[in-house]
Amino acid sequence: ATADLRIFLDTARGVAREAGALIRAAFDGRSHAIDFKETNAADLVTQTDRAVEDLCLRRLAEAFPEHAFIGEETTSAAAPAARTALGDRPTWIIDPVDGTMNFCHGFPFTAVSIGLCIGRRPVVGVVFNPILDQLFHAAEGLGAFVETPAGTQALPLSPAAVPPTLTTALLATEYGAGKEPHVLEPKIATIRRIVTRPVAGRGIRSVGSAALSMCLVAEGSVDAYYEAGIHAWDVCAGIVIVREAGGVAVNWTPPAGAAAVADEPIDVMARSVLCVRGVKGAATGSQAAAQAALVGQLRA
């Protein structure tokens, strides 16, 4: 029910603020002891990732002891058989520091990302960048907002016309931590296609945080973002924020026999995402067609 979503959202906002204070206090540039996951030199983890995840799991479990939890660091450290599978009961999906590499290098795009799935569907999302002091939040049916020291604004920030075609789009993507050929090759092929005339998109940005890239789509600063190889904790919260701002969020790899893009469900465990900006409540015909066209061009 909506009242429950409001409680879940408000609790997650409080936890994100508390977690963000830990990130902010530790954000001092280059003094972090770094560990590497699964011998991957681009997949970093610090004491702050672990401390923030512990805090989030503790606070949310105190508030909602009957819920399930999936955290990036807990999951990465567990043997595959001991990892929590996403089921139908309410499940919090947490990335304590999304943009860990940015955090380690002092690049100010780093955020705690807290999402909630019910029946495997993302319904609450909070993404807090404590360095730039921007807290993005959304819950299904309640809209998407950003809180800054200047106040709270609904998303998107400047409701522009329908999303553009690829040739006039500003896009965001990442090379990502995973360098396996089956993950990297399609990304490189798509970037090559996007930057090659005559189709060419206007530009490509890589900010180093999937969650914040999705918030850029929700606020309308970039037109679309896609990535493969990411995990549920990178995208769960962002999916809700994009959708509640009027955008679409689907898997980059299309599901078999998919319905129209506007009705396509997303599988948060499927390791890919593609989202396109929009305006909530806009004359849906032309907006939905433009969103579907851009989704098609970026998937091709």
Minimum CB–partner distance for residue 177 and ligand IPD (Å): 4
How many positions of this chain bind ligand IPD (CB under 6 A)? 15
- What is the spatial distance between Cα 187 and Cα 176, in angstroms, rounded to a whole number? 10
Pick the closer one to ligand IPD by CB: 229 or 247: 229
Among 99, 238, 247, 278, binds ligand IPD (CB under 6 A): 99
Residue 21 CB, nearest distance to ligand IPD (Å)?
19
Residues 125-184 that bind ligand IPD (CB under 6 A): 174, 176-177
Handedness of CA 94, 99, 101, 105 (dihedral sign): negative
What is the DSSP-derived secondary structure letter of residue 210? H
Identified binder of ligand IPD from the candidate list 20, 122, 156, 208, rule CB under 6 A: 208
CA nearest neighbour of 172 among 221, 219, 235: 221
- In 149-294, at which residue ranges do the beta strands (DSSP E only) sit? 151-154, 170-173, 203-205, 224-228, 248-250, 272-276
**Residue 209 binds ligand IPD, judged by CB under 6 A:** yes
Q: Using CA atoms, how far apart are residues 297 and 300, in angstroms rounded to an integer?
A: 5
Tell me the closest approach of the beta carbon of residue 175 to ligand IPD, in angstroms. 7
284 Cβ contact list (under 8 Å, min separation 6): 262
Interface with ligand IPD (CB under 6 A), residue from 163, 229, 246, 247? 229
Question: What count of other Cβ atoms lies within 10 Å of the Cβ of residue 294?
Answer: 25
Q: Write phi, then psi, for 184 (nearest 5 degrees).
A: -75, -40
Binding string, 41-80, against ligand IPD, x = CB under 6 A?
Answer: -------------------------------x--------
Give the helix/strand (H/E) hosting 8.
helix 2-26
Looking at beta carbons only, is 230 or 236 nearer to ligand IPD? Answer: 230
Of 25-33, 161-169, 204-212, 275-283, which part binds ligand IPD (CB under 6 A)? 204-212
Chain residues that interact with ligand IPD, rule: CB under 6 A: 72, 95, 98-100, 174, 176-177, 208-210, 227, 229-230, 234
